[in-house]
Chain A
Amino acid sequence: KAGVTQTPRYLIKTRGQQVTLSCSPISGHRSVSWYQQTPGQGLQFLFEYFSETQRNKGNFPGRFSGRQFSNSRSEMNVSTLELGDSALYLCASSLEGGGDEKLFFGSGTQLSVL
C-alpha cells in the first residue's frame, strides 16, 4: 500500500497570500488529521476529517480551514498568511480515527512565509 502523500513538499509564500496543501491518505483510511509543527510550539492539532465532515478542531484562527473529498483526500487552506504560519504541516490518516488507532503520517509540507 502506498503511504500518506502530501504535496507540495516545500512552499514559499509571502505575507497576505493564501496557500492550499494537499493530503492523500492510505487507501481505505477514512480519517485525516492535520498538525502544525514549529520549533516553539511543537505539534499542534489543527483539525480532523472523517467521511467528508470535520469531526474535531484545534485552537487555530478561522484563517485555517480544510475539507475532505469523497475519496478521503483532504486539503487544508490558510488565507492571509502571516510570518508565524511558517511551519511544517503534517497530515496523518487512520482507518476510523477516534484516537484509539495509530496514525500514519505523511512527510509534511514545509511552508515558509516571507
Chain B
Amino acid sequence: SQQGEEDPQALSIQEGENATMNCSYKTSINNLQWYRQNSGRGLVHLILIRSNEREKHSGRLRVTLDTSKKSSSLLITASRAADTASYFCATTQTSGSRLTFGEGTQLTVNP
C-alpha cells in the first residue's frame, strides 16, 4: 500500500488564488519530497524537506512538515494556469532507501 495519502484528490481554483495540498504518511521518515507531473509525462522534483525541518520555501512554494502528526502540506501562492498538474508527495522511511509516492492531487488552475 502507498505510504502517503494526499488530500484533496482533486482541486480546482482560479488563477491568482492559493492552492494547498496535504499529505499524510504512516511511518517515521528521513525526508519528504514533493513532485509535480504534467499529464502523461515524467515527474519533476519541487522541494525536499528533511525530518528535522518544519518549513521550507522555494519561490511560490511553501512546504511544511509536522512529524508528530505525520503530515505535510504544499502551498502554491498566486497560482497560474501553468501550475495545472498532478502533485505527489514522496517519503523515504528511516528503515529504507526507496521513495514511496502518495496518490497525488490533481490541481486545475482556471484562467
Contacts and interface: CB of A to CB of B under 8 A. Distances in A.
Contact of B96 (A4, A92, A99, A106): A99
B42 A99 contact: no
Main secondary structure on A side of the interface with B: strand
Interface residues of A, number: 26
Nearest to A41: B2
A48 B98 contact: yes
Contact of A105 (B42, B92, B96, B97): B42
A97 interface: yes
Q: How large is the interface on B (under 10, 10 to 19, 20 to 34, 35 or more residues)?
A: 20 to 34
Contact of B2 (A42, A90, A92, A110): A42
Contact of A108 (B2, B35, B41, B101): B41
Interface string A99-111: 1101111111010
Contact of A43 (B31, B96, B97, B101): B101
Interface stretch (B43-51, B61-69, B75-83): B43-51
Contacts of B2: 42
Interface of A: 4, 6, 33, 35, 42-43, 45, 48, 55-56, 58, 88, 90, 92, 97-100, 102-108, 110
A69 B33 CA distance: 28
Interface of B: 2, 30-31, 33, 35, 40-45, 48, 88, 92-93, 96-104
Given A99-B31, A99-B92, A107 B41 contact: yes
Given A45-B100, A48-B97, A99-B30, 15 more contacts: A4-B42, A42-B2, A42-B101, A43-B101, A90-B42, A92-B42, A99-B31, A99-B92, A99-B93, A99-B98, A102-B33, A103-B35, A103-B99, A105-B43, A108-B41
